[in-house]
């Protein structure tokens, strides 16, 4: 089901619910360095790279870094004006 917009639609709905209904201040997300689509989607939605967990995930015979992202309420509101 890749490249059909399902992840983007789900992320958008989650963000709207988290900030508009639950009144949360912050969201966090992680993406493994080889998952360029997830990284691109998070950045498209305004998530900010906050850190890298170097070689924190082992998969298919290799260690991969994990990127930590955060999004604050004020960043969401600025980035997602309706």
Q: Which two tokens stand for residue 73?
A: 């309420």
SS (H, E, C) 62-79: EEEEEEEEEEEHHHHHHH
The neighbouring-strand residues paired with 69 are 29, 49
* pTM of structure: 0.87
Determine the pLDDT at residue 82. 57
- pLDDT exceeds cutoff 80 at 55: yes
How far apart are the C-alpha atoms of 66 and 51, rounded to whole Å?
Answer: 9
Determine the pLDDT at residue 1. 53
Determine the pLDDT at residue 5. 79
Taken in order 9, 80, 39, 67, is the CA torsion positive or negative? negative
Taking residues 6-23, what's their average pLDDT? 94
């Amino acid at each position: 089901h890749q490249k059909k917009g399902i992840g983007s639609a789900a992320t958008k709905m989650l963000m709207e619910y988290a900030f508009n209904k639950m009144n949360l201040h912050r969201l966090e997300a992680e993406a493994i360095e080889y998952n360029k689509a997830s990284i691109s989607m998070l950045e498209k939605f305004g998530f900010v790279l906050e850190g890298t967990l170097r070689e924190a995930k082992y998969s298919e015979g290799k260690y991969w870094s994990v990127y930590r992202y955060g999004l604050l309420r004020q960043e969401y509101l600025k980035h997602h004006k309706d």
